Amino acid sequence: MAFLEIENSEFNDIQEFIEFLEYDKKGHQLPSNLQVVATISTLKTIEDYINDLIKYGFFIEKRYGKLLLISKAILNKKIYYYTFFDDRNNVHLFLTIARKTDDIPETLFDYIKRSGDISNLWITPKIMKELKDRLTDEYADLMITYFSAKRTPNSDIPAEYRPEIERGIQYRGDDGRLALEEMEFYYGVMPKILEIRLPNGVAFRIDNKGIITLFKGSFGDIFKIIESVVGKLIKIKYAIEGSSYAIHRVGTNNQFAHAIQIPWSVIMPSGMKLNDLAGFCRALSDEEWDFTLLESALSKEESFFSARVIDNNNSSSFDIATTGKRMDIYPIEQTEIGSYIRFYEFLVETVDPQAVVG
């Protein structure tokens, strides 16, 4: 069901759409708990995007320039999204009133996993903390009313108490801002989910999967947050696009094929020890990540591990090699950006929250 009063408007620039939403918020009440999901892709044109949506089961209900009203049927009901294709940076913005825990995973996240050409705008704990700190500096009276935070066992983030312990913390209270600062200092955790109230009336929830729930206030303020996160993830996209795979024919009759792989890399300050490998391999195959390892090789003398990784969602594959502090990721033919970013997410979530693209 359409939930924006668009009529016959067309939007070919993202700022036009944001301005419309700002006006619509004043002239017509936007739905409460509006879910906003930003994604990043390798799709180049709106036509490529439309074809990809149709390929994975979406129906184009109506087109308003680069804004689409789309739907997908699950369990005898239709789930609707407005989605804008921003070709400045290949970002796709989804707006929906669908349920976050039931409808969005079965429709949008299923598409993201299977397409491979698109990835959710995943927010690392480091970026989430930077976002929180920036907003705190900008708004002296900012309130955090809920947070979820985590510490991984290998983290080298300082902690006053028992730094070797893995931790997960959830907290609700109007003093959440101070409580999170205390938890960061004493227990070395980093935020994954934040519910924030700004003094200008904006209230929203943001999580590490890139879902923003706008409870109240200006959509323009939310879009500024999305753009700041996009700016961080674009660096990862550029690093991935700098990798390559090519087959060169050699020999007097070009009878031999020689594969040349140029990797992209992830630097892990805390490092991955060889005795962590069993847990690494186990976690990689968990339902949340859904990768399979093949052709693994381990050299204890050289502290070297390599393997081929298969993404069970879309059958794409890539090779990995590490000596502990650095993970090189080698493409095999055409590996999708969604698989790469999910693997990077896995490294940050399970190996080192400080991991960065090298």
Tokens of 30: 């936007």
Amino acid identity at 96: T
Q: Which of 90-99, 176-185, 191-200, 225-234 has the weakest average pLDDT?
A: 225-234
Residue-wise pLDDT tens digits, 107-122: 998 898 888 788 888 8
The DSSP H or E segment spanning 308 is strand 304-311
Q: Where are the domains of the chain?
A: 14-120, 125-238, 248-357
Q: How many CA atoms lie within 13 A of 355 on its CB side?
A: 27
Residue 137 in this model has a pLDDT that exceeds 90: yes
Asked if residue 336 lies in contact with residue 316, where contact means CB atoms within 8 angstroms, the answer is: yes
Cα separation, 20 vs 77, in Å, equals: 28
DSSP3 helix / strand / coil % (the chain, rounded to 5): 30, 35, 35
> Nearest to residue 36, comparing CAs of 47, 25, 51?
25
Which CATH architecture is the domain 14-120 placed in?
2-Layer Sandwich (3.30)
Residue 28 in this model has a pLDDT that exceeds 60: no
Question: What pTM did the predictor assign?
Answer: 0.84
Residue-wise pLDDT tens digits, 31-63: 667 889 999 888 889 999 999 999 999 999 999
Confidence of residue 301 (pLDDT cuts 50, 70, 90): low
Residue-wise pLDDT tens digits, 210-248: 899 988 887 888 888 888 888 878 888 888 888 887 777
Asked if residue 206 lies in contact with residue 228, where contact means CB atoms within 8 angstroms, the answer is: no
Share of the chain above pLDDT 70, in %: 94
The DSSP H or E segment spanning 80 is strand 77-86
Helix axes 125-138, 219-241, angle to 10 degrees: 140
Neighbours of 334 (CB within 10 A): 10
Rg (CA), the chain: 22
Give whichever of 67-81, 238-252, 294-308 has the largest mean pLDDT. 67-81
Terminal Cα-to-Cα distance of the chain (whole angstroms): 44
Residue 224: the pLDDT is 87
Q: Which of 2-11, 32-41, 138-147, 178-187 has the weakest average pLDDT?
A: 2-11
CATH number of 248-357: 3.30.160
Residue 30 in this model has a pLDDT that exceeds 70: no
